A and B are shown apart, each in its own frame.
Chain A
Amino acid sequence: MKSKGLVHKYADNVDTDVIIPARYLNTANHQELASHCMADIDADFVNRVKPGDVMVGGYNFGCGSSREHAPIAIKASGISCVIAKSFARIFYRNAINVGLPILECAETDRIAAEDELEIDFAGGVIKNLTKNETYQTEPFPEFIQNIIAKGGWLNYLNSLK
Chain B
Amino acid sequence: MKSAAKRAGLCIVTMLIVSFLAYAAFALISGDPAQTLLGTDATPERLEQMRHQLGLDQPFMVRYLKWLLGFFTGDLGISYSYRQTVWSLIAPKIEVTLCMALISFVVIVAISIPAGILAAQRSNGKSGLLSTGLIQLGMAVPPFFTGILVSWGCGIVMKWFTPGDFPGLHSAKAATALRHLFFAAVCIAIPRIAMTVRMLRSTVIGEMNRSYVRTAISRGNDRRGVFLRHVLKNSLVPTVTFLAQTMAEIVGGSIVVEQVFGIPGIGRLLVASISNRDYPVVQALVVIMAFWVVLAGTAADLINQRIDPRLRLGGGE
The yes or no verdict on A and B being binding partners is no
Chain A residues within CB distance 8 Å of chain B: none
Chain B residues within CB distance 8 Å of chain A: none
